[in-house]
Amino acid sequence: MNAKLIKTGKVIDNKEILAVELTNNKGTYVKIYNYGAIVSKFVVVNADGEKQDIVLGLDDFEDYVQTDYLENYPYLGAVIGRYANRIKNGEFSIDGVPFKLAQNNGSDCLHGGLRGFDRRVWDILPTIDPSVTLQYLSPDGEEGFPGNLAVQLTFKLTDENELILDYKATTDIPTAINLTHHGYFNLSPKGGNIGSHIHHMPASYYLEQDSNYVVTGKLVAVEGTIHDFLGPKPIAQDWNAQEGYDQTYVLDKEYGTLTLASETSEAESGLTLSVYTTEPIAHFYTGKYINVRNAKGGKDYHAFEGFCVETQHHPNAINIPAFPGTVLRPGEEYHQTTIFKIGLTSI
């Protein structure tokens, strides 16, 4: 396996935009930008021996910063921080001190605010293993969050066809943190609607949401609902065809252990994507709001043409004391690991 740096010729915030290419001996290839830690390509060999790109993305880097893309911004393949998903009313308190964030999704704060980690230039650090480590230093007050936060995200592509994402962070002031990665997957060789993909998620409960998809604090059993993925089933089997899924699931696991979060397969390609994580929840999103023109190969992306498994802590947990804590304090280290593993269901 090897890692290769490629210059894009672009500069943002006085920093050079670079692409990192990781390859392994299985023919798998991943392309990552240091802008937003965007995974723009994830090429694997399917059951027919054909190379297939399984993530939604754009052909050229400059397309990720174009106005028309950002107007219907789907966060294609980007890291999310400081705080994934929605924070109610864009506000929270730590130790009795209130903080106010941008209300960039109705009255709520979504995915870190107006310009989160997905639109920042990360530094590329030297690494010993065949991997790449990106670092971003988020200053105190950025997007309203307290504390100087140092974040490192390491991507490692193994010869077992695992793309490992390992996150670490430290702060000098107590702050709220909840990181994830927003990759959109489609395992079909032809792309298109992902409703026929077979999906399994070991989660007996999901989190109730209000009308703006903000978690309320209530857990609801999946049994007898459209949200039951305890047994594998087609994604579209029970869904509301106009809404799809945009729901947070509480994984059946011991807190902090690295276990299966989901498994998704597609018959024509013979590919299976298994997601493992140390995080307590996975947010399953089937792309209702995807609307991207002139994406890879000149294609347009439409609703329900990609799915996300966003591993993280409970959304809005900073405002819900009963949920696992998302406050990071000086002297502590935030750490989470998520693995995207590719396998074959047929050969």
Q: Which of 142, 266, 279, 310 is catalytic?
A: 310
> Does 346 score more than 80 pLDDT?
no
Whether 347 has a pLDDT exceeding 50, the answer reads: no
The residues pairing with 248 across neighbouring beta strands, listed in sequence order, are 283
Given the residues 182, 197, 283, 314, the one annotated as active site: 182
CA 134, CA 81: separation in Å to the nearest integer?
14
Domain encompassing residue 8:
2-344
What's the chain's average pLDDT? 96
pLDDT (tens digit per residue) in 291-301: 999 999 999 99
pLDDT in tens, 149-174: 999 999 999 999 999 999 999 999 99
Whole-angstrom distance, CA of residue 118 vs CA of residue 75: 7
Express as a percent the part of the chain with pLDDT over 90. 96
Report the pLDDT averaged over residues 63-92. 97
Taking residues 250-262, what's their average pLDDT? Answer: 96
Q: How much is the average pLDDT of 97-107?
A: 97
333 is catalytic: no
Q: Can you give the CATH number for the domain in which 80 is found?
A: 2.70.98.10
Average pLDDT score over residue span 100-125: 97
Residues 177-212 pLDDT 10s = 999 999 999 999 999 999 999 999 999 999 999 999
- pLDDT band of 2, cuts 50, 70, 90: confident
| 309-327 tens-digit pLDDT | 999 999 999 999 999 999 9
CA atoms of 243 and 286, how far apart (whole Å): 9
Count up the domains in the chain and report the number.
1
pLDDT of res. 307: 98
Write the DSSP string, 268-333: TTTEEEEEEESSSEEEEE--TT--BSS-GGGPPB-TTS-BEEEEESPTTGGG-TTSPP-EE-TT--
Phi, psi of 88 (to 5 degrees): -55, 125
Q: How far apart are CA 104 and CA 283, in angstroms?
A: 19
pLDDT score of 1 more than 70: no
182 is catalytic: yes
